[in-house]
Every structure is written in C-alpha cells, then in structure tokens.
Amino acid sequence: MIASVAGFFTGLSLIIAIGAQNAYVLRLGLMRHHVFAVVLFCAVSDALLIIAGVAGLGAVIQQLPLLLEVFRYAGAAYLTWFGIAAIRRAMNPKTLEAQGESFPLVKTLATMAALTWLNPHVYLDTVILLGSIGNQFVPNQWWFAAGAVVASFVWFFSLGYGAKLLSKYMSSVRFWQVLDAAIALVMFSIALTLLFGSL
C-alpha cells in the first residue's frame, strides 16, 4: 500500500509540469478533438514506460548514451517545428476561427506519438528515475509501478476532459492567440533545453 501511494505521487509530480505533451493534450481538450483516444494514448504510453523502467530498461538506457543523443536532436527539431506551427496559428485569425474543423485521428496520434516518444526527458524521468525509485521498494516495486500508472491515467484524463471548463473562452480569437503563443513558448523552451541543457 505504501509503495503504491508513493508511486502515485511520484508519478504525478513528474508528469504534472507543463511540457510539450501536456500542452498538446490541453489544446485538443479545448477543441474537443479525439480527446478519449489522445488521453488514452498518453496514459498507455506512460504506463509502458513506467513498467519498462521498473523491469530494468532504465539500466540498459544508461549504458546507451548515443540513443539519448539521437532522441535529443530529433526531439528538439520536432519541437521547433511544432512551435513554429503554433506561432503561425497565433498570427492567423482565420485559422483560429475554424477551430471546429476536425483533424484526422491518425495525424493527431502521430503528432502525440512524436511529442511523447521523441522526448529524451521521458526516458530520463519515467524510465530511469521512476524505475530506479520503484526498485527501492522491492519486493513491492510493482505496487509502486501500479500507483504511478494510475497517476498517469488520472492526470491525462483530468487534463483532457477538464479542459472543457475553459470552453467558454473558445469563441475568442484572442484566447487562441494567447494559448498558441504560450504553447510555442513551451515548445521552444524545451527545444533549447534539449539542445543546450545537460541531460
């Protein structure tokens, strides 16, 4: 029981920060586009990474620094591109007025997959860090993992469906301009951190 509670709050503390993945989930939640599929994808991805970390993949990744370097530059490039797209949306009111248009599910999930799996911090935080902490609870490490997995599901479903609380602002072009500018800032900040920060 103690291990699962520790896993829940440790997992929640690592995913609650506003990052590229959370910003995109929030935007889709506000637009009400493929919310269930997106939040389920994020939660399941997180669950797989947590399980892999507790199972020992974190130790393997630490022995392959080149792999993290590949994710570093691929992730930075993708985040930069995504940030530029957000800036273009913020500067184009016509695009913002057409928020009711639906995006294909495959394209939406492909974007989410890139934001999730190309981020080297997901491997450092979720696989290596959570995996290391979880294995301090042997023989209850899988209860720790279960708690962290539950935290991921709670967070992503709350973020995706809780976004509708802001839906009254959706008709405002200014709201979307500010949101997209903030998303661009997050994307550029993370990209710069990946390029010039230490992993």
Highest average pLDDT, of 16-20, 66-70, 94-98, 155-159, comes from 155-159
Residues contacting residue 82 through CB under 8 Å, at least 6 positions apart? 20, 111, 115, 187
Measured distance CA(49)–CA(69) in Å, rounded: 18
Q: Is the dihedral of CA 164, 161, 38, 197 positive or negative?
A: positive
Nearest to 58 by CA among 124, 148, 147, 142: 124
CA 136 to chain centre: 26
The answer to whether the beta carbons of residues 95 and 89 sit under 8 Å apart is yes
Q: What is the largest CA-CA distance in the chain?
A: 57
pLDDT value at position 45? 95
pLDDT digits (tens, 9 = 90+) for 43-75: 999 999 999 988 887 677 767 778 777 777 887
Q: What is the DSSP string of 119-161?
A: -HHHIIIIIIIHHHHHGGGTTSHHHHHHHHHHHHHHHHHHHHH
pLDDT digits (tens, 9 = 90+) for 70-112: 777 887 887 788 789 888 878 875 544 444 456 789 999 999 9
**Cβ burial, residue 111 (10 Å; 0-12/13-18/19+):** middle
Q: What is the pTM of this model?
A: 0.76
